[in-house]
Amino acid sequence: MHHDPSRRPAPTATRALNLLGAAAIIVSLTLAATPAATLADAPAAVGGALDAQALYGFDDFPRETVLEYPSWFKTPFLDLPADQAEAVANGRNLVVYFGQKRCAYCHQLMDVNFGLPDIVAYTRKHFDIVPMDVWGVGEVTDLQGQVLTERQFALREKTNFTPSLLFYDAQGNEVLRLRGYYPPYQFRAALEYVADAHYRNESFPDYLARGDNRMVFEPGDLNEADFFVPPPYDLNRTLMPSERPLAVFFEQGDCHACDVLHGQALREPTILRQFAQIDSVQLDMWADTPVITPSGERTTAHDWARELGLFYAPSVLFFDEQGRELLRVDSVVGFYRLRSVLNYIATKAYLDQPDYQRWRLSQAF
């Protein structure tokens, strides 16, 4: 195996979950630098972010208990034009939440993020949240007046990973979408990005980068994995299609979520067997490493990540044999969710069912 001395071995699960002193410094710096974060908000957000196990390494298997929405969520009458009109009249933004009753990530959002008083107060002041069940059969009237079931709505909006939140402006235009679970400081930044209408002038990744003073990382200070293909990174699949799908890991240095992924899920034999059936590369999302993308474009890892709109590390993007993006996991991910994604990719189920969520639906029934 090619060994790059600039890389470090993957940490053990114990090490990955006990770097809390460093994590406290990192999170504190992020909160102080995020454009919308204030010093008054920092203690609650830092307190919620210090427990690495709770944020990144939690058991993501379906919960035995059924999720209950907070009492301040909107009663789901499933009439989005009426919900939008009411939100605008009250000076708020409409948010449509897609979730599942036993989804561990949905429980995480409710228990951790909405367990912080500052996030709850800010959300209630600026947003009306309408919950949807991705498996629901209730009829929904969307913002364009079309009537469809909750399940059909979720499929149409490609809410592959729950919780998914769609944020709308006063005119009913979608201005931000969150797929999956994000830690409190990033979630709070998303709320403020929409509430303060920063979407009018910049993308959410640019908004985060503008306020983030952690833009300097040690090049190559990334976790190793045996299945990563070494450079050079010529991923072009347009001239000669590959026989295997491709996974591209976008990571960064000083990344606690990356440490946990490598220290836990990527050490599981089931996961390793599945990745053995896939071509995989790892890129530093802030580095100027030369890359030829699956579509044949010459660029750098940093520029490609920016073009893709990535803001979370680690993000894993999957491509088919011809270089078409199949799916991306760009939020917190654990063993159960990653195993499901890899079942879809490694078995090439996308050849028969190009929509991951519809494939999941077929597996459930």
Q: What domains can be seen in the chain, in order of their start residue?
A: 233-364 (3.40.30.10)
Predicted local distance difference test score (pLDDT) of residue 15:
35
Q: What angle do CA 318, 322, 327 make, to 5 degrees?
A: 20
Task: Estimate the crossing angle of helix 184-195 against helix 117-126, to 10 degrees.
Answer: 20
Give the distance, in angstroms, between the CA of residue 76 and the centroid of all CA atoms in the same chain. 25
Are 91 and 124 within 8 A, CB to CB? Answer: no
Predicted local distance difference test score (pLDDT) of residue 39:
25
One-letter amino acid at 231 equals P
Task: Estimate the crossing angle of helix 42-49 against helix 184-195, to 10 degrees.
Answer: 140
pLDDT in tens, the chain (365 residues): 333 433 444 443 333 333 333 333 233 333 333 343 332 233 333 444 446 667 888 999 999 999 999 999 998 788 999 999 999 999 999 999 999 999 999 999 999 999 999 999 999 999 999 999 999 999 999 999 999 999 999 999 999 899 999 999 999 999 999 999 999 989 999 999 999 999 999 999 999 888 654 444 445 589 999 999 999 999 999 988 899 999 999 999 888 899 999 999 999 999 999 999 999 999 999 999 999 999 999 999 999 999 999 999 999 999 999 999 999 999 999 999 999 999 999 999 999 999 998 898 888 66
Predicted local distance difference test score (pLDDT) of residue 212:
57
Task: Give CA separation, 39 vs 43, 49, 151, 236, in Å.
Answer: 8, 15, 41, 46
DSSP state of 295: T
Predicted local distance difference test score (pLDDT) of residue 209:
82
Cβ within 8 Å of residue 322, ≥6 positions away: 237, 238, 241
Give 90's Cβ-side CA count (13 Å radius).
Answer: 14
Question: What is the pTM (predicted TM-score) of this model?
Answer: 0.84
Closest to 140 measured CA to CA, from 152, 130, 150: 150
Are 176 and 167 within 8 A, CB to CB? Answer: yes
Q: Which residue has the tokens 């630098």?
A: 33
Looking only at the bridges linking them, the beta strands covering 127-133 and 93-99 are parallel
Write out 112-169 in H/E/C secondary structure. Answer: CHHHCHHHHHHHHHHEEEEEEECCCCCEEECCCCCEEEHHHHHHHCCCCCCCEEEEEC
Closest to 111 measured CA to CA, from 158, 59, 148, 74: 59
Predicted local distance difference test score (pLDDT) of residue 18:
34
Q: Round to whole Å and give the CA distance between 123 and 117.
A: 10
Predicted local distance difference test score (pLDDT) of residue 12:
37
Are 33 and 211 within 8 A, CB to CB? Answer: yes
Q: Is 62 left (phi over 0), alpha (psi -120 to 50) or beta?
A: beta
Q: Which residue has the tokens 């079931």?
A: 149
DSSP state of 266: G
Q: Which residue has the tokens 């910049």?
A: 202
Count H helices and E strands in the chain, helices first.
15, 13
